[in-house]
Structure 1
Amino acid sequence: MPHVVVIGAGQAGAALAARLRALKFQGEITVIGDEPAPPYQRPPLSKAYLLGEMEEERLWLRSADFWAENRITLKLGTPVTAIDPVARTVTVGEEVLAYDELALTTGSVPRRLPAEMGGALGGVHTVRTLADIDAIRAGFVPGRRLVVIGGGYIGLEAAAVARKLGLEVTVIEMAPRILQRVAAPETALYFRKLHAGHGAAIIEGEGVDRILGEGRVAGVRLKDGRVLPADFVIAGVGIVPATALAEAAGIALENGIRTDARGRTSAANVWAAGDCASFPLDGVQIRLESVGNAIDQAELVAANIMGADKDYVPKPWFWSDQYDCKLQIAGLNAGYDRVVARPGEGEAVSIWYYAGDRLLAVDAMNDPRAFMVGKRLIEAGRTADPRLVADAATDLKALLR
C-alpha cells in the first residue's frame, strides 16, 4: 500500500493530508510535527489567543476524530532528523519510516536576535508557535513595559494586543519607516497614526545596540545611546523558510525549497508546499508567506501526487488585525510605481498599487468592498482606471462590469 509522509504539521501539512483523503487516496498517510499540539491555525495566536479570547482547542484545524476517521496518523512532538531521498526514508527519533511520496511542509522559523545582543536573555520572545504565545501571555499584565523590535505586521499585531491589555508599548523599527518592505508609505502612515492614537510609541530609523539585563531583560539600548526600560521584548524581525532538513538531504534550495510549478523538488518523489517552498512566477522563484498560499499550494500538491499534473497559479491575499482595524491585502505590490488612495465609509481607506496602468495590489483598511473588488480584478488579470478609483463617487462594483 503506498505511503505518503508529510513533514510539517502546520496549515499546509494538514491541508495536504486532508485533500489526499478527499481525492480518495487509499494508502497510508503520516503527518509528522515537532510540536506536541495537533495541527493548529497560527494567525489567531498573536491576536485572539494572546488576548485570551480564544481557547487552545479552537485553534485546532481539525478535531481529533477527523484524523482517526480519515486514517491519518499524526506523529507529534518528535522532529524528523534526517531524510534519505535515495532509500526513500525519513528518520523520526529512533524510528525509520519508508515513504513512496514525501511532502515537505516545514513552514518557517522566526529570526532570532543574536546572543551577543542579549537575545538569549529571559523575557526575549518571538511570536510563532503556541509555546511562544503561552510564554508571552503570562507577562502581558497592565502597566508592564514591552519593547517590540521590528515594525512589520507581526510586531505591530503584538503591539496592538499589548496596548489593548494595558501595557506600555514601544516599537523600534530600524528602517526609515514601519512596513517599509511590504507596504506603501500611505499604508504605513495609516498604521502609524492608528498606533499613536492607541498610545503606542513608534521609533523609526533607529537600530538596537543591545538588550540589557543580568539573566533577564531590564532595558533596550538603542544605537543613539537611549535606553528604554523594558520588562520584556518581542523580536518581530521576520521569518526564514525552514530548509535545514532539505539542505542536509541534498535537495535544491532557492529562496526556500525550490520547486517547479507543480510542487516537485529536485529529489524524485519529494514535494514541497507552504512557507518553506519557492515556486516559479514570471521567471523568478518566489515564496508567499500566507495561510491562503499554504492551503492552495498544499492542495495542488495533493492533487499532483494523485496524478493531476497541474501548475500552481497563486491568488495572493493576506490580512492583519490591529485594534479595531482589519487590513485585507489582495495581490502582490512588487514593482509598483504609484499608488492611489481611495476613501471609504467612515475611517475606511484603501491603497491601490499600480505599475503603469496595471493594477497590482490593494491594501484595504476596514474596507471589505474595496478588497473584494480589487481581488476579483487582479485574479481576472484586469485593471481599474486610477482616476475612477480615486473618485469616492465611483461605485466600485461598476469596475467589475
Structure 2
Amino acid sequence: MTDDLPVVVIGAGPVGLAAAAHLVDRELPVVVLEAGGRAGTAVAQWNHVRLFSAWSELVDPIAEKLLDNTGWVRPESSSYPSGAEWADDYLAPLAAALGDRVRYGVRVTGVARRGRDRVVDAGRDTEPLTVHVMTAAGEMRLQARAVIDASGTWTSPNPLGGDGLPAVGELAAASRIAYRVPDLADPDVRAGYAGRRVAVAGSGHSALTAIVALAEVAEQHPGTEILWLLRRGAVGAVFGGGDADQLPARGALGQRAKAAAEAGHVRTVTGFRTSDVTPTADGRLVLESFDGHRLEPVDEVVVLTGFRPDLSALSEIRLDLDPVLQAPRKLAPLIDPNVHSCGTVYPHGVAELAQPEPNLYLVGMKSYGRAPTFLAMTGYEQVRSVVAELAGDHEAAARVELTLPETGVCGGAGVFDEPAGQTASGCCAPAGPQLLQLGLSSPIR
C-alpha cells in the first residue's frame, strides 16, 4: 500500500506551493522538492517585472488560510505586485508556513514506477512512484504515493530559430542573445542596450514588455534602434485586447507598445523566421530568415518566443500528451492558442490533467505545454481539483470552483486608462514600472 507515503510536489513556485497547502489542508503528507535555493526561484529571476494580475488574483484561498495562522498580512488586494514582491511577500511566507515539507537544492532527475520501466504493465497501480533526485549530498531516491509536477517551463525558453530549433550560429552567439525580458532599470544592463541596434523576436506579452522598455531607452538615448521581428505575416491583433481585456494592466501594456511603435521608436519586420545568425568582423550579428531576407547588423538580440516543457525527467512515465502543444491530451483543445485566449479557457481540473500513469499530474505552466497566457488562478483551480481527487473527494474534484476574467481577446487594440496609482503591468513589463504577462503567462511554475 502507498497511502502512507507522501505526495511529492516538484517545484516550490506559486502553483507547487498552493498544491502543498491544499495537501496539508486535506491532512495528506507532502514533500516539495525545489531545485533552487528559495521559494519561487523562477519568479525571483524576473523580480523587476510586474504582473497584470492584482494581489486578489494571485493568492490561493487555501494557502491564505494556512498563512492566516502565522499572522501574515495580505497585501492590498487591488495593487499589482512585481515578481520580487510576489516572491517575498507571498511565496516565501507560504513556504515558511509549510516548514520542513519544502526542501531546497533538490533537483529531480527522474520519475518512475518502483522496479518497473515504462514498458511493464504489472504493478503500475499498486507500486509507488519513485522520484530520483540530486542533492549536494549526492543522489537519492524517494518513494511517493503521487507526484504533482509543477516545475514550470521557465528553464526551457524557445530558441530564436523559426523552425523550433536553434538557428544556425545561434548557440555560438549566445553571449549577445537574451532569452528573458532584460532589467533595463539596472544601469549596467541598460548600458548594454542604450545607443545600439537591438532586435526583439516574439509577439507575446513578454515581447510587448521589452518593446515598451526599450522604447523608453530610445527616448533617452539617441541612436538606439529597435527592430521588432514577427514571424506572423502582419501585425494584426498583436497589441492585445485594450479596453476589452478584463485584466486592465494587460490591456494597457498592449496600448503602450502600440504607442511606442506609432511614435517611431520601433521598426517592425513581419514574416521573419530566423534561419541563421552570422557574426560580423566588428562583433555584431546578422540575422537571416528562411526566405533569404538578411537584416542589417544588430548589436543585441532579445528572444521572447515563449517556453516549452522539459519532459526529460518523465521518460519512464506513461504520458498522453497532445502532439502539437505537449500538453495533456484532454486539456489541449481547451488551451489551443489558435482558438482560445486566456479568458476563454474553460476552468479545468483532474479530469483533463490525469495521465495513463496513475497518480501522476502535470499542473501549472507545465500542463500548458507550449501554450501561452497561463493564469495563476487556473493553476490554483487545477491543484484544488487534483488534491481533492487524491483525498478521495471525487465530488469536489469534479466541481468547477473558478470564474476566470473574460478578456474578449488576448489580442486586439483599444484604449485603456491605467488603474489609479498603478502603472499597468503584467507578466511581461519593465521595472519601476514594468509590465509582464504573469497574470500569468510565462515564468511561473
Q: Shorter-chain-normalised TM-score: which range?
A: 0.5 to 0.7
Matching of residue 298 in structure 1 with residue 383 in structure 2? yes
Secondary structure (helix, strand or coil) at the match of 1:277 reads: helix
Tell me if the contact between 1:46 and 1:158 (Cα under 8 Å) persists in the aligned partners.
no
Q: For 2:23, give the aligned amino acid.
A: L
Structure 1 pair 3–49 and aligned structure 2 pair: CA distance change class (3 A): same
Structure 1 pair 311–180 and aligned structure 2 pair: CA distance change class (3 A): farther
The residue number in structure 2 matching 1:103 is 148
The residue number in structure 2 matching 1:275 is 365
Structure 1 pair 26–55 and aligned structure 2 pair: CA distance change class (3 A): closer
Q: What is the RMSD of the two structures over their aligned residues, measured on CA atoms?
A: 4.2
Q: For 2:110, give the aligned amino acid.
A: A
TM-score normalized by structure 1? 0.65
Distance 1:13 1:366 in 2: 34
Distance 1:153 1:55 in 2: 15
Q: How big is each residue's C-alpha offset from its partner over 1:81-126, in whole Å with a ceiling of 9 and x where there is no partner?
A: 1111344110011011111121111322321234443321112121
Tell me if the contact between 2:285 and 2:299 (Cα under 8 Å) persists in the aligned partners.
yes
The residue number in structure 2 matching 1:354 is none
Structure 1 pair 234–55 and aligned structure 2 pair: CA distance change class (3 A): same
Tell me if the contact between 1:46 and 1:161 (Cα under 8 Å) persists in the aligned partners.
no
Task: Report the identity percentage.
Answer: 18
Unaligned segments of structure 2, at least 5 residues:
52-80, 115-127, 219-223, 245-250, 331-348, 420-445
Structure 1 pair 160–202 and aligned structure 2 pair: CA distance change class (3 A): same
Larger strand percent: 1
Unaligned segments of structure 1, at least 5 residues:
280-285, 318-328, 342-347, 350-364, 369-401
Q: For 1:176, give the aligned amino acid.
A: G
Tell me if the contact between 1:10 and 1:105 (Cα under 8 Å) persists in the aligned partners.
yes
Structure 1 pair 312–269 and aligned structure 2 pair: CA distance change class (3 A): same
Distance 2:241 2:283 in 1: 34
Which stretch shows the higher mean deviation, 193-202 or 265-274? 193-202
Q: For 2:145, give the aligned amino acid.
A: D
The residue number in structure 2 matching 1:19 is 22
Q: How big is each residue's C-alpha offset from its partner over 1:303-339, in whole Å with a ceiling of 9 and x where there is no partner?
A: 332333223646445xxxxxxxxxxx626779xxxx9
Matching of residue 140 in structure 1 with residue 190 in structure 2? yes
Distance 2:315 2:356 in 1: 11
Secondary structure (helix, strand or coil) at the match of 1:15 reads: helix
Secondary structure (helix, strand or coil) at the match of 2:189 reads: coil
Distance 2:281 2:16 in 1: 37
Q: Give aligned pairs, total.
A: 319
* Counterpart among 112, 117, 128 of residue 168 in structure 2: 117
Structure 1 pair 31–234 and aligned structure 2 pair: CA distance change class (3 A): same
Tell me if the contact between 2:284 and 2:299 (Cα under 8 Å) persists in the aligned partners.
yes
Structure 1 pair 306–270 and aligned structure 2 pair: CA distance change class (3 A): same
Q: How far did 1:154 drift?
A: 1.7
Distance 1:10 1:92 in 2: 18
The residue number in structure 1 matching 2:102 is 74
* Counterpart among 235, 250, 259 of residue 303 in structure 2: 235
Q: How far did 1:197 drift?
A: 2.3
TM-score normalized by structure 2? 0.59
Question: Larger relative contact order (C-alpha < 8 A, sep ≥ 6)?
Answer: 2
Structure 1 pair 49–123 and aligned structure 2 pair: CA distance change class (3 A): farther
